[in-house]
Structure 1
Amino acid sequence: MALLADKAQLAFAIMRERYPYLPVVLTPFGFGLSAWLANRFFDGSQGSGIPQVMAARRLADQEERSRLVSLRMAFGKILLLGLGLGVGASAGREGPTVQVGAAIMFALGRFAPHRQPGLLLAGASAGVAAAFNAPLAGIMFGIEEMSRSFEVRSSVLVLATVIAAGLTSQAVLGNYTYFGVATDSLGWGWPWLAVGLAAIVGGAAGGAFSRCVILFSMGLPGRIGVAIKAHPVSFAVICGLLVAVCGLMAGGTIFGTGYEESKQILAGQAVPAAFGPFKWLATMLTAISGIPGGIFSPSLSVGAGLAANFAPLIPQVPINVLAILFMAAYLAGVVQAPLTSAIIVSEMTADHALILPIMISALAASLISKTICPEGIYHALADKFTRGKTVIERQT
């Protein structure tokens, strides 16, 4: 998935460099095609895939589970993720790896239905670990976000699967730190204002993002909501056109995962001032369009972009330090999983000197986000897949 995603983004970048206005045509067409394929052949592959895995863990019926985490669904997820990135969608691969990892474990454990919730948890955790080369983040994601609890009998399975996924990822891609190695620290005194700033901005922006995505996914009221539900492909085309416009307004920086732009910001290099706000908008449009794609990487990119926008307010804080704090805060604001967000960012930058301010900013951002969006985005969307179906006792 990683190699396919990189190749797809590179192909789109080459085409856009040669034909700067190509996204105005290609992106809407690609969004429409992806939405049509998802609805026609791979229904259940839409979005990041994390809500589908959460819903599958709750469902009691094996056939209902298989509609969300089958190998066929995994194939469609990989294919349509590549298509989306190849036409300029503001999406990431890290969320879809959760659904793919869960689908693999579901297939392996099909003859042991009583073990399926634990197997799905292990596959989801392994997907995060492999995508970010961040094993601790994978384990914490399973504890904090996927299950909201941790059973002793699942712990060995999750740990073993995460280790296997990490080793396999390193064998294919090599041992690497996702965003490189950062070594700066946050001095005492006034620089700690950056923690509060990151928490406020990241929590508010992340909460607003989640609120918008949940609102559109659950269905807008009135005629607009009815029209979107009746014409999902046309709505995806409109979203694609708006993403293309965002790309033109931001100098072509908002397409894809935003990985390169994030690395530039962490390295102290300038990006367009419009990158952060338009990346937020483009990611939201991609998420509500119904095409397969994750929000992890784009969320980190939005956080880095917002840090670049607010950097002049705290000139004494190095931009890479501010970007790391904003990345953790915004991601925590979106997913409302502060420990997972803090550990992901810490592992991806290998800057352990910042672990305490990272955790504080992520926790505060998550609390601020809850005032705007009371329920986490993944759990709210998971409820849509379990509505009216038989579920097992929900873990708390």
Structure 2
Amino acid sequence: MEFSKSTQTIYDESSKKISEIKGYFLRLLPFWIAGAITALVATGYAQLFSWAEHLSQKIYDVTGLWFILIPPVFFVLSWVLVEKFAPRANGSGIPQLMVAVDLAEQKQSSVIKSLLGWRIIIVKVLSSILGVIGGGAIGREGPTLQISGSIFHLVNKYWKFSEIQNRSAFLLAGAASGLASAFNTPLGGIVYVVEELAKSHLNSFRTGVLHAVICAGIISQMIMGSYLYLGYPKVAGFSFSQLWQYLVVALFAALIVTLFTQSLKAVVIYRGKLVSFKSKLFFTVTAGFLFSLMVVFISKTGLGPGQETLNRLLFSEQMASLTDIVARFLGSAFTYANGGAGGVFAPILSLGGSVGSFFSSALEFELGPLSVLIGMSAGLAALTHSPLTSFILILEMTDRHRAIFPLMLAAIVGHGVSRWISQQSFYEFVSERILKETSTVVGKNESSD
């Protein structure tokens, strides 16, 4: 009799343990599935984006002065696609994801649907590719986050085998997976969503995100290889005697990138005041022609997301010129003004790196490629107001651990300068406007009901 009771106890405990393991497995399975899909889509998007960049360069080389007509045409196509089919697919995509995370636990499915979903994925990819073919100075990193958030949203929508208890945390896992896939920076992906996106969702931000990032990262590396976004630049280690030089270079990069982000805010405000299709079309065409004139008559450095510029500055003895800075600044601003899809992450890295290189050379600092990395770290912190993410991303992109302290200092300077000028980061500014617009729409719908 005692033996049977003991056997029954063991059986009950074993069944309970198996049930717990099964439940744990089913809770993690949607993170694995969504992370794997994100990796496949993100790597495919990266390759398509690279193809578009090369095509744009060929078009520029072949057309000569006739290139003036190319950007306006493709900018209009990029914008019309967004305007007609998915207005919330415009711009970077990170502010839209921030809003979706905030609203995920609320019963506002119509609002979430306008920010994330099948239509967003398709329009985001097509619009950004059209913008790049037209020479636009945009990146794929922000769009990848909105695309990955959409993938996780869709998995959450169709997953029926277990309950996804916290939808906000699930979308945060999508953001981390997207950034990890876009830059091949898994640690940066996790840190970014904690620092920039998570905010009040930190308590639920645990194992699932890590699993999603690992899954996305492994599959991305299986497809793309174990690559670094910016390779292995040769940089000097930390030198106390050059500390003030690090700070000066970071200060200039932070000031210019902050000025750039403020100009983008002005563009967002102005475009928001445009109501009619004709006025928006005229603004887009104007931005396209201004971009064309800048590229043809000032410098072609303003073409594309700017990775080619960074590679030139990091792996040759060339230093950036003032023209490079002007071209990257205006090229990115005119491209963003067109209203189509496209990120500012990569253009900011290029702008910040160019500023760092130029002022290091102008002031006769002997920092070499380190000045580029310092400018990138300061610039990214000025854009995002996320200093921890900024230096970790640059660190993972280059694998230059000996530069960790200059990068940390640059990120602190970039964050401080930007916060001193404006309390809101660019992404926070845009997401707040989206929240106001969506709350107005929801209020009207409720009053009509």
Instruction: Give me the TM-score of the superposition, normalised by structure 2.
Output: 0.82
Counterpart in 1 of 2:122? 75
String of CA shifts for 1:138-176, please: whole Å, max 9, x gaps. 001110111235534322111111111111211221110
Matched, 1:192 2:243: yes
**What's the RMSD between the two structures over aligned residues?**
2.1
Q: CA deviation at 1:215?
A: 2.2
Aligned match of 1:329 in 378, 386, 389? 378
Question: For 1:340, which of 372, 385, 389 is the aligned residue?
Answer: 389
1:81-230 equivalences in 2 (<5 Å): 81-110=128-157, 115-148=166-199, 151-219=202-270, 225-226=273-274
Q: Hey, what does 1:349 align to over in structure 2?
A: 398
What SS class does the counterpart of residue 206 from structure 2 fall into? helix
Contact 2:137 2:347 in 1 (8 A): yes
Change beyond 3 A, Cα 1:357–1:67: same
Deviation at 1:18, TM superposition (A): 1.5
Letter of the structure 2 residue corresponding to residue 121 of structure 1:
L
Is the 2:238–2:406 contact (alpha carbons within 8 Å) kept by the matching residues of 1?
A: no
Task: Say if 1:236 and 1:390 are closer, same or farther in 2 by CA, change over 3 A.
Answer: closer
Match of 1:320 in 2: 369
Following superposition, which runs of at least 4 residues in structure 1 exceed 6 angstroms of deviation?
227-230
Partner of 2:59: 15
Q: Could you report, residue by residue, the CA deviation over 1:223-247 in whole angstroms, capped at 9, with x for unpaired residues? A: xx44788622221111111111221
Q: Does the 8 Å contact 1:206/1:332 carry over to 2? A: no
Q: Give the SS at the match of 1:39.
A: helix
Query: Given that residues 216 and 288 in structure 1 are in contact (C-alpha distance below 8 angstroms), is that contact kept between their aligned partners in structure 2?
Result: yes
CA distance in 2, matches of 1:390, 1:152: 26
Amino acid paired to 1:292: A
> Secondary structure, in 3 states, of the residue corresponding to 1:22?
helix
2:357 touches 2:369 (CA, 8 Å); kept in 1? no
**Does structure 1 conserve the Cα–Cα contact (< 8 Å) formed by 2:139 and 2:345?**
yes
Q: Report the alpha carbon displacement of residue 308 of structure 1 after superposing the two structures with TM.
A: 2.6
How far apart are the structure 2 equivalents of 1:142 and 1:292? 21
SS in 1 for 2:300: coil
Q: Is 1:44 matched with 2:88?
A: yes
CA distance in 2, matches of 1:371, 1:243: 30
TM-score by length of 1: 0.92
C-alpha distance in 1, partners of 2:415/2:367?
Answer: 24
Among candidates 330, 340, 359, match of residue 281 of structure 1: 330
Please give the alpha-carbon distance, in whole angstroms, between the structure 1 residues aligned to 2:125 and 2:274.
Answer: 30
Q: Secondary structure at the match of 2:299?
A: coil
Alignment partner of 1:6 out of 50, 60, 75: 50
Return the offset for 1:133.
0.4
Aligned with residue 288 of structure 2, among 229, 240, 243 = 240
* Alpha-carbon distance between aligned partners in 2 of 1:113 and 1:161, rounded to the nearest angstrom: 14
8 Å CA contact 1:339–1:362 kept in 2: the answer is yes
Q: State percent identity of aligned pairs.
A: 27
Q: Residues 155, 329 of structure 1: CA spacing in aligned structure 2 closer, same or farther, 3 A cutoff?
A: same
- The residue number in structure 2 matching 1:365 is 414
What is the rounded CA distance, in whole Å, between the counterparts of 1:356 and 1:150 in structure 2? 30
CA separation of 1:219/1:316 partners in 2, compared to 1, >3 Å: closer, same or farther? closer
Q: Whose Rg is larger?
A: 2
DSSP 3-state at the match of 1:19: helix
Aligned to 1:394: none
**8 Å contact from structure 2 (residues 234, 369) kept in 1:** no
1:267 counterpart residue number? 315
How far did residue 23 of structure 1 move? Answer: 2.8
Which of residues 112, 118, 137 is equivalent to 1:65?
Answer: 112
Q: Deviation of residue 45 (structure 1)? A: 0.6
Shift of 1:316: 4.5
| CA distances 1:158-197 after superposition (whole Å, capped 9, x unpaired) | 1111111111211221110111113422442442223212
Task: Report which stretch shifted further, 106-115 or 94-103.
Answer: 106-115
What do residues 237-289 of structure 1 show as CA deviations (whole Å, max 9, x unaligned)?
A: 11111111221244312111111110110013435541122201211222232
Verify the 8 A CA contact 1:210 1:373 in the aligned structure 2.
no
Question: Closer, same or farther in 2 for the Cα pair 1:215/1:304, shift >3 Å?
Answer: same
Where does structure 1 lack aligned partners over 5 or more consecutive residues? Answer: 392-396
The C-alpha deviation readout for 1:327-355, integer Å capped at 9, x for no partner, is 11111112211111111111111100111
Contact residue 91 and residue 342 of structure 2 kept, 8 A? yes
Equivalent residue pairs, number: 388
Question: Who is 1:258 aligned against?
Answer: 306
More helix by share: 2
The answer to whether the 8 Å contact 1:53/1:102 transfers is yes
